[in-house]
Structure 1
Amino acid sequence: MLSVQHALDNRSLRALERCEAKAGLQDTPCFIARRRLCGNYNVLSLSLGRLPNPLCPHKGVGHLYGGMRVLGWLGGYSPHLLGSLSGRAWNNVAGWLRCYVRGGHVTQTLRSGDMRKKRNTVVTMVCLLVLVLLFLPPIEMARTGARRMQSSNNLKQIGLACHNYLDAHKQFPMGADYDPTGPKHGWFTRTTPYIEASSLYSRIDMRYGWKHPFNKYLFGDVYATTINPQIDSLSTTDDFALIHYLANPNIMHSKSSVRLEQLVDGSKHTWLVGEISQRFQPWAYPYNWRPLNEIASDHRSDQILWGGEFQVCNGDGSIRALSSDADSIVLHKLSTVPPIADMKATVVPYQSFEYRDVARSVDRYNFGELEPYARKHQKGPVWSAEIYYEHGEPHTLEARVHSQGEQSKLVELIANNPTLQVVLIRGVVNDSLARELSHLEHLCCLAMDSSDLSEQGVKVLAELKELRILDGITPANLLEIKKVSDTFLVE
């Protein structure tokens, strides 16, 4: 057996190709085989049989000719071609080519650089995968810890808001209030001025309930204080933003008026607000309370928070972690810390809500700022408008206007949203604006600060077939409207 190793660099390979082209050997079996080898085939075996050496027939394959290391006769090469190649070309045959000659059979094996690259790529990917598997659990633990800390801060903010309300009103927020039409607002709505939503509270019309068209659009905004970052659900399918924290029913319930002195076991031992893991409710819902044993039961059946634990804010503002697997006697004692509310006052009517992971859409328009003089002497926000969507369609428009010129831009905005059903104008409604409102075929509720309507403007509003609720109109215009139509519920 004869084993010889040769290295072939790029220059020698190009020289070999030029010689083959001059000799017209492009279509020979040897040329094709060599090109396949250079194309990085891993293994190529050529069984050429016992080929005679035409230069020295009695020497056989592998004879050294003319001082050059010639490995053998590969079919198609001619003697004058071999003689034209320099010794350097054959001395440089291969880290990529190893020839073994056994009994006239030639086996060529390519040691490809691509194989080494692929092997290195696989090793790199395996190392990266191992690193990811090693570092992923600590990263997830750090993220969970950060979310838990954020939820704890939310509970502290709510507890602080309740105490600020207590300082202002000498009692904790009322759990829910009522009028003849039903429940109106809950405890969290009353604490919004003390959290981060004082501007929101000033826009809520406390005369009407939480589902009234003049209030409903305000309760779709998601606030960070109401959301536990460990939970994905943000709002209901009816576009009400959710809250992930519910109150102690012994302190905040229907028409409650609990004072600090009534916490006879101490505020440190009385829980105020706690985390929930399911059966979420809108933050504007009047019945946002739940007994502690029910909260623990929900956590046992759905441990999506902190490994079977949940947090509560005590009456003194401190945060306590409770286990959902705590003994029922312990949970009962924590639930029955005085004061004890009347059972009828803590009853929550059954109502289920469907959730989604996205908040509702709002388009906000700032038409421009007030003139410098007006900005000095006129209080209130810059004139602007907001369009609130329901089920993908523009539903409610709230606009703030301060002058006649601003109303012209508002008219254009109304014309571009013909599906509006509720319009609230924080300003004066005149005839031009009334004419544009008459094109809203689905308009059912209209509120304004005041009106300046002529007889023609009154007639235009009276012709709106779907309009049922009209609020803020001046007494003089009200009398004129009643002469034309009695179908309005004027509030």
Structure 2
Amino acid sequence: MNVEITRMRPSDAIRKNGFTLVELLVVIAIIGVLVGLLLPAVQAAREAARRMQCQNKLRQIGLACHNFQDTRGHLPGGGRDGDHRVPDPLEDCCRSQTHAGWSWSYSILAYIEADNVYQLASQSDDPDVGDSGYNAKEDLVAQATSPIYTCPSRRNSTSYGSGSFYRVDYAGNAGTRGPGSVRDKASSGLDGVIMQTDRGKIRIEQIRDGSSNTIMIGEKALHRDSFGSEGGDNERWNNAGWDEDVIRFGAGELADGTRYGITPISDQEATHKDGSSWTTVTDKGGVVWGQWHPFFGSSHPGGTNFCLADGSVRFVGESVDGELFRRLSVSDDGEIVELE
């Protein structure tokens, strides 16, 4: 019997059982590129989901406003300052002394499954006429809130300040902002959908320009460095008075009567504290605004969510035409605009 002996070459003795260092580095590089390509898509998908959540919250707010009208006969008021029981105190500052003057965001609580918060205070907690105090339960309500009032793209529901008071990310459409004070009854807030409490009442059917063509509630612009401190985010969510915390303007009027659109801005563009001073923002009419400003806006890239008076929710792009947005914001000028 012949036995054949095969000699192994030295190179055959070592067989490849894994990647070489070069191959491993190549694989890691490919994975890194794939992750880099995938991450923006994941972030975009997450933002799309957050934007949809924001739209759903606005839709619930819009439905609550409709239900409020069905019960009370008119849309909720935007809030007021002073004491509603004394003659014409509408130009007072800086929040309502009485339960009746609290913000729209408080008025609709019973219609967003937050009646337990609504019931924390009542008219019986108001101070006596002539007293300088406020409703005894306003702080208790301010320390509670509904998660429906914060946009998930901006922040979680968070309390601020020594009183631990919550804020709201949505604002009623007050129409045209005049050249005077926000409380100037001669110019500001006469043609919006959310009107100053006790200045007037409006029903959806009375919106001359059509409920599907007029903004009711929208997101308010707020820089990320200004949470809880900027002029439009420094008051109690339930009792800010007639104030930029709870109302914003989509139209402006200059001293000479010229009217123009105050288009939404991104949160990044919004005014904020820079060192010891506040930055400014100039609107389409050339008016410069600082800590207290009228702008709608959002943390969403590319635009802002709005609930129209018919309850539908639309995303309005940041490049919206000024005149188009002015017409969307004014309820009674007869200049109808159709959204695509």
1:242 to 167, 189, 207: 167
Instruction: Assess if the C-alpha contact under 8 Å between 1:247 and 1:289 holds in 2.
Output: yes
CA distance in 2, matches of 1:117, 1:214: 72
Deviation at 1:202, TM superposition (A): 1.5
Match of residue 195 from structure 1 = 112
CA distance in 2, matches of 1:325, 1:134: 28
- CA RMSD in angstroms, aligned pairs only: 3.5
Instruction: Note closer, same or farther for the CA distance 1:127–1:282 as it changes in structure 2 (3 Å cut).
Output: farther
Matched length: 239
Match of residue 254 from structure 1 = 197
**DSSP-derived class of the 2:316 partner:** strand
CA distance in 1, matches of 2:53, 2:147: 10
Output one character per residue of 1:326-380: Cα deviation in whole Å (capped at 9) or x when no partner.
Answer: 222222222332189xxxxxxxxxxxxxxxxxxxxxxxxxxxxxxxxxxxxxxxx
Deviation at 1:161, TM superposition (A): 0.3
Deviation at 1:160, TM superposition (A): 0.4
1:286 matched to 2:209? The reply is no
Instruction: Assess if the C-alpha contact under 8 Å between 1:165 and 1:191 holds in 2.
Output: yes
Deviation at 1:276, TM superposition (A): 1.6
Deviation at 1:224, TM superposition (A): 2.4
Q: State which structure, 1 or 2, has the greater radius of gyration over its C-alpha atoms.
A: 1
Instruction: Note closer, same or farther for the CA distance 1:304–1:157 as it changes in structure 2 (3 Å cut).
Output: closer
> What letter matches 2:65 in structure 1?
C
- What percent identity do the matched residue pairs reach? 25
Instruction: Note closer, same or farther for the CA distance 1:144–1:336 as it changes in structure 2 (3 Å cut).
Output: same
> What letter matches 2:121 in structure 1?
I
More strand by share: 1
Instruction: Assess if the C-alpha contact under 8 Å between 1:165 and 1:173 holds in 2.
Output: yes
Instruction: Note closer, same or farther for the CA distance 1:329–1:115 as it changes in structure 2 (3 Å cut).
Output: same
Output one character per residue of 1:390-432: Cα deviation in whole Å (capped at 9) or x when no partner.
Answer: xxxxxxxxxxxxxxxxxxxxxxxxxxxxxxxxxxxxxxxxxxx
> What letter matches 1:131 in structure 2?
L
Deviation at 1:208, TM superposition (A): 4.1
More helix by share: 1
Instruction: Assess if the C-alpha contact under 8 Å between 1:247 and 1:273 holds in 2.
Output: yes
> What letter matches 1:192 in structure 2?
L
Match of residue 263 from structure 1 = 207
Instruction: Assess if the C-alpha contact under 8 Å between 1:276 and 1:298 holds in 2.
Output: no
- What's the TM-score once normalised by structure 2's chain length? 0.60
Instruction: Assess if the C-alpha contact under 8 Å between 1:162 and 1:173 holds in 2.
Output: yes
Deviation at 1:315, TM superposition (A): 1.0
> What letter matches 2:168 in structure 1?
I
1:147 matched to 2:64? The reply is no
Alignment of 1:377-388 (within 5 A): none
Alignment of 1:183-222 (within 5 A): 183=96, 184=98, 185-208=102-125, 212=135, 214-222=137-145
Match of residue 325 from structure 1 = 319
Output one character per residue of 1:461-489: Cα deviation in whole Å (capped at 9) or x when no partner.
Answer: xxxxxxxxxxxxxxxxxxxxxxxxxxxxx
Instruction: Assess if the C-alpha contact under 8 Å between 2:305 and 2:314 holds in 1.
Output: yes
Instruction: Assess if the C-alpha contact under 8 Å between 2:266 and 2:298 holds in 1.
Output: yes
CA distance in 2, matches of 1:166, 1:95: 88
Unaligned residue ranges in structure 2 (runs of 5+): 1-6, 87-91, 127-132, 175-191, 223-231, 253-261, 271-296, 335-340
Instruction: Assess if the C-alpha contact under 8 Å between 1:164 and 1:194 holds in 2.
Output: yes
CA distance in 2, matches of 1:115, 1:211: 76
2:265 to 278, 294, 298: 298
- What's the TM-score once normalised by structure 1's chain length? 0.43
> What letter matches 2:221 in structure 1?
S
Instruction: Assess if the C-alpha contact under 8 Å between 2:193 and 2:331 holds in 1.
Output: no
**DSSP-derived class of the 1:137 partner:** helix
Output one character per residue of 1:69-120: Cα deviation in whole Å (capped at 9) or x when no partner.
Answer: xxxxxxxxxxxxxxxxxxxxxx8896699xxxxxxxxxxxxx9999956445
CA distance in 1, matches of 2:318, 2:251: 9
Match of residue 228 from structure 1 = 151
